[in-house]
Amino acid sequence: MTTEFTPSPLFARVENARRRRRKFSDEQITLAHGSGGRAMHELVEGLFLEYLRNPLLEKLEDQAVFEIGSGRGASRLAFTTDSYVVDPIFFPGGDIGRLAVCGTVNDLAMGGARPLYLSAGFILEEGLAIEDLRRVLASMRDAGGHQGRAARQRR
């Protein structure tokens, strides 16, 4: 039995289809474009890649894994960013804050990375109650609390 992997011709066909430039014909952004489904993939592959194409983005993964430095001093890092808009912001089992932290950490984990830091961007709608924002921030703190303690201990 050989330990060498030989890809089937089907893999090459799938890869060629994936790399083909897609046409994006939608006239307006809809909620479906942010859902993580087909419409979002068509938006990213058909529009974002057209303008922002680079080797890391072309992989179409939930995170980018890259090296900083060279030789013995090189370090592999994983990076991701995300934004969430959901309605309602509080739902059974969680809220937008917990979703943001857990979703971002999951994206890193899918690349085999261990989260060290979290960057958070906020899309705040006019009229949002400050008390609701407090609840979301507390939820983010609680969801990522163990990460914060680990980062402080390493300093």
CA dist 121 and 11 (Å) reads: 37
83: confidence class by pLDDT, cuts 50, 70, 90: confident
Q: If you classify domain 61-155 with CATH, what class do you get? A: alpha beta
Tell me the pLDDT tens digit for each residue of 5-48: 677 777 677 776 666 666 889 999 998 898 888 999 999 999 99
HSE-up of 104 (CA within 13 Å, CB side)?
22
pTM as predicted: 0.69
Whole-number pLDDT of residue 152: 46
* pLDDT beyond 80 at 141: yes
Whole-number pLDDT of residue 90: 97
On average, the pLDDT of the chain sits at 85
% the chain with pLDDT above 70 = 84
Whole-number pLDDT of residue 4: 73
- Give the residue range(s) of CATH 3.30.1330.10 domains in the chain: 61-155
* pLDDT beyond 60 at 154: no
CA dist 94 and 140 (Å) reads: 10
